[in-house]
């Protein structure tokens, strides 16, 4: 093991031989835990098997995001494989129905004679609607990973590592991860029962569902350690060789080589297209794409989602332009930016908040209202501020708020919105003063001569990257810029050639003004990731610029 790899592992608290072995060599048999460790899993398994054997009508209801939609595909595949005779999938519309089980679906279940309703990646906050379904004679199973809602846990069968009293070791499973555990357990029990449903199913078939678990685990920003790391690792392995027409079509549209697909490809290419369906269109479009059984169907749906995603980009760009104009009209930019418009689409607020936080390097709160009497918004961290801590310091301004250090959501009233910016700016100093010590700006200082395949191999041994295992950032000091040029259709990206011999290429997509001002002949210090350039026929190692320091 190289000294660089040892240092990167140590920075993440991985120092013992056992921890290093577990981290560098994820093992499905060792690190993917027994699903029966989840409380009430036996009840879930028994109820699903009863529904299969009695040919009951089943409704599966999931969230509309890149955890919920893969969960829907996973359960669709599993129920189909197990011979379910009568089931359907429902996914709510983000902009008109919002998160969680809704009355429309409960009405459908009652009217259509559904006997078993299964919610995935939602349900913990839907006790009232679940009670109504159960009162109508419908059994309900909640498969979730969220905390209990204000109403308390639903009084149905619940499998959730975060349920009060549950002792499952991995509290960071995403919704699709919990759904996968259910499928594992159901198939295992059917094998024990010598059920003819599994007679023709190869042992380990369920591992092919890990492509959906991998997408959801990487997309939902859960901690990529322990079992989640193993699920993401094997999920990427399956994605690279997945026969799914939808995955192949997505990769073709995005010009990704499927067999080289990376965690970045999932997070920055596949996930946005899945989410675009619910932000701008119908979430069922993304479900149908991932569940497609023919390339003809998949190609049509991938083309449709590509158009939807481009519309999403245009809408966010328009919203961001409007925000920038609002801020430009002010005498100075506040320490916490709060901007909104009653007509802004709720599904795009988080994307716009991210752009604002990145552009102005400070916390950003972006809100909209639509037809609701309540103002709802999304917020993103900027300037190293813990966004949850900031909201907690100004909690009197919110009706509800939640999230984590880097992003969150909130609801407030018309009365409070007028003074929200002032309240948050006043709370900023308190939040910064009591914040935990900031993470180091970079993992290691390197020279341009260190940038090679050996270094890249060291870094990639730590993949997949995400929450709990951030991609390493390296500091390169006093680098000579031998060439600087914009590229891309609209020249919005920048490529630097570094070193006297132009030995190292460094790029940044959607470059900031600081990088656009760099000229050949200058000397710069920069923070960057190392990555493989897999675009085109020639492969090489390059830097992905995070920031120009001087």
Token match 């929200």: residue? 420
Res 435: pLDDT: 47
Closest CA to 425 of 330, 350, 502: 330
66-to-157, 174, 432 alpha-carbon distances in Å = 24, 10, 32
Q: Where are the domains of the chain?
A: 32-241, 243-311, 330-434, 444-548
Identify any residues that bridge with 497 across adjacent strands, giving them in sequence order: 483, 505
Closest CA to 345 of 371, 380, 382: 371
Res 190: pLDDT: 98
The DSSP letter of residue 268 is I
446-504 pLDDT, tens digit each: 999 999 999 999 999 999 998 888 899 999 999 999 999 988 877 888 999 998 877 89
Give the whole-angstrom CA distance, residue 402 versus residue 150: 13
Res 384: pLDDT: 73
331: how many CB neighbours lie within 10 A of its CB? 4
Strands 504-508 and 540-548 come out as parallel
329-364 pLDDT, tens digit each: 988 888 999 999 988 888 889 899 998 988 888 899
What is the torsional sign of CA 293, 298, 301, 305? Answer: positive
Positions in the chain whose pLDDT score sits under 70? 149-151, 370-373, 431-440, 534-538
Res 414: pLDDT: 87
Q: Are 469 and 224 contacting, i.e. CB atoms less than 8 angstroms apart? A: yes
Res 150: pLDDT: 67
CATH 3.10.20.310 fits 330-434, yes or no: no
Phi, psi angles (nearest 5°) of residue 444: -165, 155
Identify any residues that bridge with 401 across adjacent strands, giving them in sequence order: 410
3-state class of 312 per DSSP? Answer: helix
The DSSP letter of residue 517 is T
CATH of 444-548, one of 3.40.1010.10, 2.60.40.1120, 3.30.70.60, 2.40.50.460: 2.40.50.460
Res 436: pLDDT: 44
Give the whole-angstrom CA distance, residue 331 versus residue 495: 34
Within 449-537, strands assigned E span 474-487, 493-498, 504-508, 523-533
Give the whole-angstrom CA distance, residue 430 versus residue 427: 5
152: how many CB neighbours lie within 10 A of its CB? 11
What are the respective helix, strand and coil percentages of the chain, to the nearest 5? 45, 20, 35
Q: Are 214 and 231 contacting, i.e. CB atoms less than 8 angstroms apart? A: yes
> pTM of the prediction?
0.86
441-to-447, 469, 473 alpha-carbon distances in Å = 17, 15, 8
Closest CA to 352 of 330, 307, 320: 320
Q: Are 476 and 447 contacting, i.e. CB atoms less than 8 angstroms apart? A: yes
Give the whole-angstrom CA distance, residue 333 versus residue 415: 23
Give the whole-angstrom CA distance, residue 390 versus residue 386: 6
Count, residues in the chain: 550
Architecture per CATH, 32-241: Alpha-Beta Complex (3.90)
Token match 């939040």: residue? 431
The 3 state secondary structure assigned to 6-45 is HHHHHHCCCCCHHHHHHHHCCCHHHHCCCHHHCCCHHHHH
């Amino acid at each position: 093991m190289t000294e660089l790899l040892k240092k990167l592992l140590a920075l993440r608290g991985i120092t013992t031989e056992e921890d290093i072995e577990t981290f560098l060599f994820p093992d499905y048999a060792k690190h993917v835990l027994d699903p029966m460790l989840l409380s009430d899993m036996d009840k879930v398994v028994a109820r699903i098997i009863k529904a299969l054997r009695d040919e009951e009508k089943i409704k599966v209801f999931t969230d509309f995001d890149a955890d919920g939609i893969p969960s829907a595909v996973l359960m669709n595949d599993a129920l189909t494989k197990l011979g379910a005779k009568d089931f359907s999938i429902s996914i709510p519309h983000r902009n008109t129905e919002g998160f969680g089980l809704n009355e429309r679906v409960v009405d459908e279940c009652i009217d259509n004679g559904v006997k078993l309703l299964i919610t995935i990646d939602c349900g913990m906050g839907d006790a009232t609607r679940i009670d109504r379904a159960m009162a109508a004679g419908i059994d309900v199973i909640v498969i979730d990973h969220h905390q209990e809602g204000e109403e308390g846990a639903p009084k149905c069968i619940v499998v959730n590592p975060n349920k009060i009293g549950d002792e499952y070791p991995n509290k960071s499973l995403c919704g699709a991860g919990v759904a996968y555990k259910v499928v594992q357990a159901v198939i295992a029990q059917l094998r024990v029962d010598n059920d003819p449903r599994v007679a023709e199913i190869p042992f380990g078939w369920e591992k092919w569902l890990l492509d959906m678990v991998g997408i959801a685990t990487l997309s939902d920003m859960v901690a990529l350690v322990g079992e989640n790391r193993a699920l993401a690792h094997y999920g990427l392995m399956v994605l690279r060789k997945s026969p799914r027409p939808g995955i192949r079509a997505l990769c073709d549209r995005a010009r990704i080589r499927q067999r080289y697909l990376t965690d970045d490809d999932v997070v920055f290419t596949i996930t946005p297209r899945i989410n675009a369906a619910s932000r701008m269109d119908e979430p069922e479009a993304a479900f149908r794409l991932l569940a497609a059984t023919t390339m003809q169907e998949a190609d049509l749906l991938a083309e449709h989602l590509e158009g939807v995603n481009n519309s999403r980009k245009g809408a966010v760009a328009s919203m961001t332009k409007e925000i920038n104009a609002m801020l430009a009209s002010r005498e100075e930019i506040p320490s916490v930016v709060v901007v909104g418009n009653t007509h802004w689409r709720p599904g795009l607020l988080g994307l716009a908040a991210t752009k604002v936080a990145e552009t102005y390097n400070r916390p950003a709160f972006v809100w909209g209202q639509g037809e609701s009497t309540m103002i709802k918004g999304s917020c993103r961290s900027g300037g190293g501020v813990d966004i949850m801590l900031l909201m907690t310091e100004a909690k009197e301004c919110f009706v509800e708020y939640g999230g984590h250090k880097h992003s969150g959501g909130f609801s407030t009233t018309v009365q409070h919105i007028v003074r929200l910016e002032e309240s948050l700016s006043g709370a900023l100093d308190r939040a910064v003063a009591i914040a935990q010590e900031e993470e180091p700006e970079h993992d290691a200082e390197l020279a341009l001569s260190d940038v090679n395949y050996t270094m890249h191999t060291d870094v990639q041994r730590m993949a997949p990257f995400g929450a709990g295992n951030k991609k390493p950032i390296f500091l390169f000091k006093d680098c000579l810029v031998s060439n600087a040029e914009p590229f891309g259709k609209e020249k919005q990206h920048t490529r630097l050639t570094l070193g006297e011999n132009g030995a190292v290429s460094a790029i940044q997509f959607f470059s900031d003004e600081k990088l656009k001002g760099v000229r050949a002949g200058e000397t710069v210090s920069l923070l960057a990731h190392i990555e493989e350039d897999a675009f085109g026929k020639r492969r090489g190692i390059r830097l992905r610029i995070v920031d120009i320091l001087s």
